[in-house]
Amino acid sequence: MAEYYLAVDLGASGGRHMLGHLEEGRLHLEEVYRFENKMTNKDGKLLWDLDRLFREILNGMKKCREAGKIPVSMSIDTWAVDYVLLDEQDRILGDTYGYRDSRTQGMDEAVWSVIPEKELYARSGIQKQPFNTIYQLMAVKKRTPELLEQARTFLMLPDYFQFLLTGNRVSEYTNATSTQLVNPETKQWDRELMSMLGYPEDIFLPLKLPGWEVGTLRPEIQNQVGYNCRVVLCASHDTASAVMAMPEPEGQGIYISSGTWSLMGCELPAADCREESRQANFTNEGGYDYRFRYLKNIMGLWMIQSVRREWDCRYSFAEICDMAEQEAQFPSRVDVNDACFLAPASMTEAVREYCRKSGQKVPETPGQMAAVIYQSLAASYRETVLEIEKLTGRNYDRIYIIGGGSNAGYLNRLTADATGKEVYAGPSEATAIGNILAQMQKDGKIENLSRARACVRESFEIRRYSPANHVNERK
């Protein structure tokens, strides 16, 4: 009888519950529940509705019972950097901000007044992003210091949800590294840095690795969902789970974890905290098995998702790709990493204004708008490949595109042409797959990361795109 493992994969634009089991060495996935997610604007603040998200987590767990497929364990992954502060009675203090909120403006300078930017990077290996947790906490210290004084526990969002399920507080390593408060050598919190910044050190729990068992479901949760199961840590930063599912056993190649963000990089055995890496804005995020994800954040499909919403979702993503391809000769390009695209009131107008200011032709139709975004993303990928090869001193012959963006065939072809590399696209549910693989490795179902990645290649369709001639083969 099959043993099922449940991945709860929460993204900034949607969540999904995926069951996985092994049959004759191959991993089989089944989606049991899916829901939408987004930040809410409350009095000018961009916030997460954690109560609703937890209800959706429970709703999906109930679907497993209804399907008669009770998981032996489950794990939750989410996006990075966002967190909660809990008081002595485990109540959330203040609002739970989303990373696109503007309250962190100027907080980088406040942090750098204590520790210079160069020194901070050399110490953490994490790229400067205005929304990193280190800057979010400085915003709390500057504006609502009483919250830090009342705080007794700091938890990243997946850790918080797993606390609600089990009653046990555990902090997972990979997601913690995105805070810019973890030492890449000790792989634990940099408490000296916290002390320098005036953050209370005692609220941060020791970091645990994927595979750590958090506990079993609380009795009241068992009553709601109709069963009990173990809760196990996965690589709870969703990109860390996705990179686990790269279909290359030894992890040799450049990857793009393609979704709301495009996270593009390679794996390193140790963090590269050189000044050259800082200047190029590369980060060293913790990965599974203490591997480092040496990568750059690129704005990603957030731009397409945003304009699609502005078009009232009249077009599917496949239709948008087709329209972009029909406008392939449209000449304008934007810098997809420009801050104007982080959280504009209108993405459509932000792209048009960028083109106006840079003296380029302004896109008017949906096809032209999509062409600008897709072509600009491919150009950014090309620049990032060149940076990776220069910084690592090695050449790569292939790029693995994993995650939902791997389904964007037009962008995959553009990427192959722009970079001159073979592109391998898939699996699309890489994050959920990595989540499940971590649970299976904990139970001894899969021996190690190399075997887990071989299992991915053997279990899922991988499409190949060759540069220039658009050869498209299925593996």
Question: What pLDDT, in 10s, does the model give residues 222-251?
Answer: 999 999 999 999 999 999 999 999 999 888
- In the predicted model, residues of the chain with pLDDT beneath 50 are 470-471, 473-475
Note the pLDDT of residue 471: 46
Catalytic residue among 9, 77, 108, 238: 238
Residue 355 makes CB contacts below 8 A (sequence gap 6+) with 332, 334, 361, 362, 363, 372
Note the pLDDT of residue 352: 98
Between CA 343 and CA 97 the distance in angstroms is 14
Q: Which fold has domain 4-232?
A: Nucleotidyltransferase; domain 5 (3.30.420)
CATH code of 246-426+444-475, in short, is 3.30.420.40
Note if 51 is an active site residue. no
Q: Verify cis geometry, omega within 30 degrees of 0, for the bond prior to 200.
A: no
Note the pLDDT of residue 250: 85
Q: What burial letters (b/e) apply to 95-105, b meaning 16+ CB within 10 Å?
A: bbbbbebebbe
Residue 400 makes CB contacts below 8 A (sequence gap 6+) with 246, 247, 248, 253, 254, 255, 256, 423, 424, 425
Q: What are the φ/ψ torsions at residue 469 (nearest 5 degrees)?
A: -95, 0
Express as a percent the part of the chain with pLDDT over 90: 93
pLDDT digits (tens, 9 = 90+) for 181-218: 999 999 999 999 999 999 999 999 999 999 999 999 99
Between CA 324 and CA 304 the distance in angstroms is 11
Between CA 255 and CA 136 the distance in angstroms is 28
Note the pLDDT of residue 213: 98
pTM of the model: 0.92
DSSP symbols for 303-331: HHHHHHHHTTT-S-HHHHHHHHHHTTT--
Between CA 197 and CA 172 the distance in angstroms is 22
Q: What are the φ/ψ torsions at residue 250 (nearest 5 degrees)?
A: -95, 5
Note the pLDDT of residue 474: 45
CATH 3.30.420.40-classified regions of the chain: 4-232, 246-426+444-475
What does each C-alpha distance from 193 to 20, 111, 144, 373 come to in angstroms?
40, 11, 20, 39
Note the pLDDT of residue 261: 87
